[in-house]
């Protein structure tokens, strides 16, 4: 839509229609932080700001032993985080693109079809998410942090989750159980109005990893309540009277964190450029994917405009991706750190964040913009920071 606004002749190819997306299964928890929302707002795409809950803080609770909150960190966000169900958002944007005169071809593209498209267009970008088509871009082993998923995932959209009595501000709540996984409770807007999304991030083989049978929304709720009763009983009490938002309110699977080479050369020599999850995938535990995809779209849009009449050749594609990677590598580094056992310097920072508000607030901002996270990720910088604020143990 950014290119459409500049009178570029854009063809979108989408495997699913707006109606199919809206009526389909949930896709994500899709929390967007301030900087990514700014990109969307500047493009006139923030169509749901009046209805979507504004999430002003993040509360991470360390649970050890099960059922006991040993440490809680509440970081206030400088700009509210918002989650609009991608079923609402992507279908709304597709319709808007068409209303503005955009051309959409509704079909699934394979490698051969992509070649046909690429021959007919000056530039072809593949934004197929983690779908099979992403396989045309080879994995980049030097940049890929893992060779397999680090969590199995189960997601459930709920209405009727009660608000915690304290504090009054809307929070995303993240109970974390070392070695077992995390559960995120994310206020959001879905097809039927406000909701709370429950996302289980399960360490494979542990007690949260119990979703292989892909239960129905009601069975998921029953199992979720049993897990919450054992591990985070205060969240169980808030969810006890909730019900699934709709028949498609669940999502199961696992995300394979991978970075791919951004340019794929097709059989007849034409090249295509990968975008968003097609080339950089992170586990959703830190909520970076959709935020990074928005950044990627913004970087590519600006690079296309700046290119003018010159050709979109392979070296332009590589340079354009590198500009995105200069940001995305931080999202990958932050997510990688949060998936493993916390190294001592990060544990020291989070221990301080539990008792010092300014540290908790600074930690919350890492989610919004991980490119400034060296003070947390780097051992020497973390200790220097703690020393500077008089918190060195």
The residues, any chain, with a CB within 8 Å of residue 362's CB and separated by 6 or more, are: 75, 353, 375, 376
Yes or no: say if 196 and 260 are a contact pair by the CB < 8 Å rule: no
Report the distance separating Cα 124 and Cα 87, nearest Å.
Answer: 25
- Report, in Å, the least distance between residue 65 CB and ligand FAD: 27
Yes or no: say if 230 and 67 are a contact pair by the CB < 8 Å rule: yes
Structure tokens, 31:
């929390």
- Report, in Å, the least distance between residue 219 CB and ligand FAD: 18
The sheet with strand 263-265 has its strands ordered as 125-126, 271-274, 263-265
Of the pair 53, 287, the CB lying nearest ligand FAD is at: 287
- Report, in Å, the least distance between residue 287 CB and ligand FAD: 3
Instruction: For the chain, state the CA radius of gyration.
Output: 21
Report the distance separating Cα 303 and Cα 382, nearest Å.
Answer: 35
Of the pair 297, 386, the CB lying nearest ligand FAD is at: 297
Report the distance separating Cα 235 and Cα 161, nearest Å.
Answer: 9
Of the pair 58, 199, the CB lying nearest ligand FAD is at: 199
- Report, in Å, the least distance between residue 291 CB and ligand FAD: 4
Report the distance separating Cα 183 and Cα 152, nearest Å.
Answer: 12
Q: Which of 368, 367, 392, 370 is nearest to 382 (CA)?
A: 392
Report the distance separating Cα 202 and Cα 153, nearest Å.
Answer: 6
Of the pair 94, 382, the CB lying nearest ligand FAD is at: 94
- Report, in Å, the least distance between residue 330 CB and ligand FAD: 14
Report the distance separating Cα 318 and Cα 315, nearest Å.
Answer: 5
Of the pair 181, 287, the CB lying nearest ligand FAD is at: 287
Of the pair 92, 129, the CB lying nearest ligand FAD is at: 129
Report the distance separating Cα 107 and Cα 298, nearest Å.
Answer: 25
Of the pair 198, 359, the CB lying nearest ligand FAD is at: 198
Of the pair 124, 352, the CB lying nearest ligand FAD is at: 124
- Report, in Å, the least distance between residue 329 CB and ligand FAD: 16
- Report, in Å, the least distance between residue 388 CB and ligand FAD: 31
Yes or no: say if 14 and 94 are a contact pair by the CB < 8 Å rule: yes
- Phi first, then psi: give them for residue 252, nearest 5 degrees: -130, 155
- Report, in Å, the least distance between residue 277 CB and ligand FAD: 4
Residues of this chain that interact with ligand FAD (CB under 6 A) are 13-16, 28-31, 90, 108-109, 127-129, 131, 133, 153, 155, 199, 251, 255, 276-278, 284, 287-291, 293
- Report, in Å, the least distance between residue 21 CB and ligand FAD: 7
Of the pair 62, 174, the CB lying nearest ligand FAD is at: 174
Q: How far, in whole angstroms, is CA 271 from its chain's centroid? A: 28
Report the distance separating Cα 170 and Cα 188, nearest Å.
Answer: 11
Of the pair 108, 192, the CB lying nearest ligand FAD is at: 108
- Report, in Å, the least distance between residue 181 CB and ligand FAD: 13
Report the distance separating Cα 66 and Cα 191, nearest Å.
Answer: 34
DSSP three-state, residue 31: strand
Report the distance separating Cα 259 and Cα 145, nearest Å.
Answer: 8
Reported in sequence order, the residue ranges of 160-211 that DSSP labels E, i.e. its strands, are 171-177, 181-190, 193-202
Report the distance separating Cα 56 and Cα 86, nearest Å.
Answer: 21
Of the pair 201, 383, the CB lying nearest ligand FAD is at: 201
- Report, in Å, the least distance between residue 14 CB and ligand FAD: 5
């Amino acid at each position: 839509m950014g290119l459409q606004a500049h009178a570029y002749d854009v063809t979108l190819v989408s495997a699913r229609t707006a109606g199919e997306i809206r009526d389909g299964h949930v896709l994500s928890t899709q929390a967007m932080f301030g900087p990514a929302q700014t990109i969307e707002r500047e493009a006139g795409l923030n169509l749901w700001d009046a209805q979507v809950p504004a999430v002003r803080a993040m509360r991470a609770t360390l649970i050890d032993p099960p059922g006991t909150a040993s440490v809680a960190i509440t970081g206030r966000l400088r700009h509210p985080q918002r989650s609009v169900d991608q079923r609402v958002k992507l279908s709304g944007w597709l319709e808007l693109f068409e209303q503005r005169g955009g051309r959409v071809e509704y079909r699934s593209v394979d490698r051969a079809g992509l070649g046909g498209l690429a021959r007919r267009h000056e530039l072809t970008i593949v934004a197929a998410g983690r779908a099979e088509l992403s396989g045309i871009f080879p994995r980049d082993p030097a940049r890929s942090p893992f060779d397999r998923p680090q969590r199995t995932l189960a997601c459930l959209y709920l209405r009727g989750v009660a608000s915690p009595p304290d504090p009054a501000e809307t929070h995303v709540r993240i109970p974390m159980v070392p070695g077992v996984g995390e559960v995120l409770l994310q206020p959001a807007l879905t097809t039927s109005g406000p909701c709370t999304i429950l996302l289980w991030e399960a360490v494979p083989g542990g007690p949260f990893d119990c979703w292989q049978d892909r239960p129905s929304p009601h069975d998921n709720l029953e199992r979720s309540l049993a897990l919450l009763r054992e591990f985070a009983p205060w969240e169980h009490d808030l969810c006890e009277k909730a019900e699934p938002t709709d028949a498609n309110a669940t999502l199961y699977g696992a995300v394979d964190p991978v970075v791919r080479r951004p340019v794929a050369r097709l059989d007849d020599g034409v090249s295509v450029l990968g975008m968003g999850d097609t080339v950089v995938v992170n586990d959703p535990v830190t909520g970076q994917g959709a935020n990074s995809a928005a950044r990627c779209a913004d970087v590519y849009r600006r690079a296309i405009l700046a290119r003018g009449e010159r050709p979109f050749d392979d070296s332009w594609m590589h340079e354009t991706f590198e500009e995105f990677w200069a940001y995305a590598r931080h999202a990958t580094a932050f997510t990688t750190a949060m998936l493993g056992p916390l190294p001592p310097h990060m544990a020291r920072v989070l221990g301080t964040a539990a008792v010092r508000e300014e540290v908790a607030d600074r930690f919350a901002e890492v989610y919004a913009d991980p490119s400034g996270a060296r003070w947390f990720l780097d051992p020497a910088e973390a200790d220097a920071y703690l020393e500077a604020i008089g918190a060195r143990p």
